[in-house]
């Protein structure tokens, strides 16, 4: 579960355009989050891509973004 959690209140607007590494709470891993006019995608450690299908759900404990697949750790994804 820690692979799905970031300790910041990160809205979709705060994600920079292009591809960038983000560190989830699981310190040993990285996610590559890409933002473009087409939306936000997340590459996990398996190299698979998840699409953010609902962004910026404000909850008591932070901001939730719904993705269309389970994110799995593995090797550091390509981020370009």
pLDDT of residue 58: 92
The whole model's pTM is what? 0.84
Domain ranges of the chain: 2-67
> Per-10-residue mean pLDDT for the chain, 80 residues long?
72 92 80 92 91 94 91 82
pLDDT of residue 17: 95
Classify residue 8 by its DSSP letter. S
- For 29-35, the CB contacts below 8 A with 24+ separation are 29/3, 29/73, 29/76, 30/76, 30/77, 30/79, 31/3, 31/71, 31/77, 32/77, 32/78, 32/79, 34/79
pLDDT of residue 77: 80
């Amino acid at each position: 579960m820690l692979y799905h959690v970031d300790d910041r209140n990160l809205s979709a607007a705060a994600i920079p355009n292009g591809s960038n590494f983000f560190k989830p709470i699981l310190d040993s891993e990285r996610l590559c989050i890409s933002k473009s006019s087409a939306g936000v995608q997340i590459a996990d450690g398996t190299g698979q891509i998840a699409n953010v299908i609902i962004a910026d759900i404000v909850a008591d404990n932070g901001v939730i973004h719904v993705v269309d697949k389970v994110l799995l750790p593995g090797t550091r994804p390509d981020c370009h």
